[in-house]
Amino acid sequence: MNNIRLIKPTLDLKEEFLGMINDWKNHNEKPKPWPINIEPDNLPQMIKRLEGYSRGIGLNENHVENTTYWLIDNNKVIGACNIRHRLNDYLLKYDGHIGGAIRPSERGKGYGTTMLTLAIQKAKELGIDKVLITCNKGNTASEKTIVRNGGVFESEEVEDNGNIVRRFWIK
């Protein structure tokens, strides 16, 4: 894990990205975070939309400016994360500043902790000094990753569907 970094999505790694998408599909999981599900088979269009989102262009109602990154290790796309530049009421309660996931075949190797560390650095570059991270109650892997990155538990919120979300702050 010597050459791990976050990069903005690029056409140069199209096949690696599609491999990650297929990894999720082969495990009967929906790729995360949500922005990488925007036309993943049309990578140029997806990249254009993601670039717009980072500038507040083309966002759906109730969405905020956000930037999506891929976690790569030696040019293999390992995971993806999305950093929301600010919080609205919904994000403050349930989703926080950063969302992301590691492709199923690469989990349990420390990539999640590394991706969150790098995402927190990117958030700081955006001027976010106090980062809110959430995870579903019972997702012990995500909770451990958050705590390893300095997450301090604040509260639990119950979504309309009954799902319990645990909220953590990282300074």
Asked if pLDDT for residue 1 goes beyond 70, the answer is no
Cα–Cα distance, 171 to 151 (Å, whole number) = 8
- The single residue listed with the structure tokens 């990117």 is 122
Which domain range does residue 53 map to?
A: 4-127
In a domain, 122, yes or no: yes
Least confidently predicted of 37-46, 99-108, 145-154: 37-46
pLDDT digits 0-9 by tens, 127-161: 999 999 999 999 999 999 999 999 999 999 999 99
Q: Mean pLDDT across the chain, nearest whole number?
A: 94
For the chain, percent of residues with pLDDT exceeding 90: 89
Residue type, position 110, single letter: G
Average pLDDT over residues 20-39: 87
For the chain, percent of residues with pLDDT exceeding 70: 99
Residue type, position 114, single letter: T
Q: Give the helix ranges, DSSP H, for the chain.
A: 14-26, 43-54, 89-90, 111-125, 140-148
Q: How many domains does the chain have?
A: 1
CATH classification of the domain holding 63:
3.40.630.30
Residue 33's pLDDT is what?
83
Average pLDDT over residues 107-114: 95
Asked if pLDDT for residue 116 goes beyond 60, the answer is yes
In a domain, 75, yes or no: yes
Position 30 confidence tier, pLDDT thresholds 50, 70, 90: confident
In a domain, 156, yes or no: no
In a domain, 103, yes or no: yes
